[in-house]
Chains A and B, each alone.
Chain A
Amino acid sequence: MTTILALDTSMEACSAGLWVDGRIFARKETLQRGHSQKILPMIAQILGQAGIVLSEVNAVAFTSGPGSFTGLRIGFGVVQGLAFGANLPVIPVSTLEVMALSAFHKYNLPEDALILPALDARMNEVYWGVYRAGEKNTTVIQPDRISTPEVIPTLVRESIAAGIGSGWSYNLGQGISANLVDVSLEPNAEDLLVLALNRYQAGDIVAVDTVELSYLRENISWKKRQKLRPESPEKT
């Protein structure tokens, strides 16, 4: 029996899903805030509905970024607690990759469709990547990165089947040809489950301690303090 638990709190959508040998149990809500209050009750509900206890789960999957910094930490914090507490391996999956599969399903796109998920990273930057999506899996074409919107057309020459996510509100369509654009599409735990199951079956699971969130924005631009004197007086 294969049982995978998946959760996503990376964006406004808050969702949890459970795969139990082909049966899917899922909950999803769209929230401005309050993911921290909903996510564990959601997990408890779907486990209860499936009649599964946490220790019977084989692995916990989650969106490891990019996304809201606090949202990512809520999800990962919960995963850390569950994985450590029940001694489970984890499956971190790119938020953008899950979105690509969500778009594939939502719009019935042809197999191997090129999808460009992009999230608004503020400060005139977007998190984005390019994926080829199919019924059961996705392939990375351009790895996730952060850049200004202007950089994207210089790196993406192909015609895109779907441009999705809040990053597309930067009018990316001016430089990139996309058959459809959906700025409001968010990841969900059901599509995450599909990707997680593939990874699990391929043995692509990791220990929770080895996981780092992919914030993508690493250089946090706070001003460093300037000392008045190069060497402070008490140290001389």
Chain B
Amino acid sequence: MRVLGIETSCDETGVAVYDSQAGLLAHTLYSQVAVHADYGGVVPELASRDHVRKLLPLIRQTLADANCTGEQIDGIAYTAGPGLVGALMVGGAVGRSLAYAWNIPAIGVHHMEGHLLAPMLETEPPDFPFVALLVSGGHTQLVAVAGIGRYEILGESLDDAAGEAFDKAAKMLDLDYPGGPEIARLAERGDPDRFRFPRPMTDRPGLDFSFSGLKTFTLNTVAEHRGDAVLPDEQTVADIACAFQEAVVDTLVIKCRRALDQTGMKTLVIAGGVSANRRLRNKLEAALARQGARVYYARNEFCTDNGAMIAYAGCQRLLAGQHDDLAIRAIPRWPMDTLPPLGNPDAPKQ
């Protein structure tokens, strides 16, 4: 089965063609980062307007890159949520009606399921069951994954998502948007011993997160060290970036280890934009190796939003016979544990 995947849930327009036999045939991405950088964050109306302009040309290009025509596409998968409702609506309207025009099934895909399954596009994919850490600008969740659509939320952020915390801390340090990669870059020059930020909610049991206190801590540290200037000196900014990143990474590592212990699983999947963070990957790999567990993640370009993960996730569900009616689906808030399971839960793994 050959599936066209469409992602427009936030500020990236992503399109891909995935074939269940041949694998990923093509994928393209248009990032709106430059559109939103001046505003220090995503402006929903501008995001929606840009998706409308970019999506159709991107679909044409992706089909051409995949060297295939519309007749060779067997299904369309589009991100139905969660995300910005206006942005979701663009991909949904185009995706659903294109499937109608081509007389093929369509399916609305859960964006975080897409992220969660993105490592399946790699040459060495993880086996079920596993624990997934979904960590992006909108989500920080630990999920026990028994199979596709069989998700149990083990813990999640009670306030800001980890990626959101990165962005906000970056703003306090006057770094460009998006802040995650900027902080990571600056942290490499920082002195890890100069500041120690708290590791929130690690001193008590449970798998929930809270990152808003870390934001306040960052703000206070900046205020203490800037003197009469608008910002502390460059080295201090780098030291703060380093301390902030260490605190977020350590917190995530501690909770991941705890989730593996609690479930008795030996496989961890990290997905979402923050899973591209090198420090997080390195520390998780080291920590998990000590407990005989292994961590999987997607290549960098599939950690952030993309069409390939949507095409893959949609393909799995379409192969299982699931598909939508003619309604265009756009679900801004959509708990992942309400998704239908795929096939017979007792059947052997695919």
Q: Tally B residues with Cβ within 8 Å of A.
A: 50
> Which residue of chain B is the closest to A209 with respect to CB atoms?
B56
When distances are taken between beta carbons in the complex, the residues of chain B under 8 Å from A229 are 174, 230-231
A169 interface contact, C-beta 8 A: no
Interface residue stretch chosen among A66-74, A146-154, A195-203: A66-74
Interface residues in A, total, Cβ within 8 A: 41
Known A-B contacts A44-B326, A84-B101, A85-B70; A232 and B90 likewise in contact (beta carbons under 8 Å): no
Cα–Cα, bound, A215→B41 (Å):
23
Partner among B39, B53, B89 whose Cβ is within 8 Å of the Cβ of A222: B39
Is B97 located at the chain interface by the 8 A CB criterion? yes
> Is A228 positioned at the interface, with any CB of B under 8 Å from its CB?
yes
Q: How far is the CA of A224 from the CA of B93 in the complex (A)?
A: 30
B83 within 8 A of A: no
B60 and chain A: residue at smallest CB distance: A84
Q: Would A225 and B38 count as touching, CB distance under 8 A?
A: yes
A213 touches B52 (CB 8 A): yes
Q: Indicate if the CB atoms of B98 and A73 lie closer than 8 Å.
A: no
- Chain B residues contacting A176 (CB-CB under 8 Å) are none
- State the majority secondary structure of interface residues on A: helix
How many residue pairs between the two chains, A and B, have CB atoms under 8 Å in the bound complex? 133
Closest CB pairs A-B (n = 5): A85-B101, A77-B93, A81-B97, A225-B40, A81-B98
Beyond the given pairs A73-B90, A229-B174, 16 more chain A to chain B contacts, judged by CB atoms under 8 angstroms and listed by A's residue number, are A38-B327, A40-B96, A40-B97, A54-B101, A73-B52, A73-B93, A80-B56, A81-B97, A82-B98, A84-B98, A85-B99, A85-B102, A223-B39, A225-B177, A227-B174, A229-B230
Could you list which residues of chain B lie within 8 angstroms of chain A, going by C-beta atoms? 38-41, 43, 45-46, 48-49, 52-53, 55-57, 59-60, 70, 85-86, 89-90, 92-102, 171, 174-177, 182, 185-186, 230-231, 234, 237, 325-330
A/B interface sample: 23 pairs, CB < 8 A: A40-B100, A40-B326, A41-B326, A43-B100, A73-B86, A77-B52, A77-B89, A77-B328, A78-B94, A80-B56, A80-B98, A81-B95, A84-B59, A84-B101, A212-B53, A213-B49, A215-B49, A223-B39, A227-B174, A228-B231, A232-B175, A232-B176, A234-B182
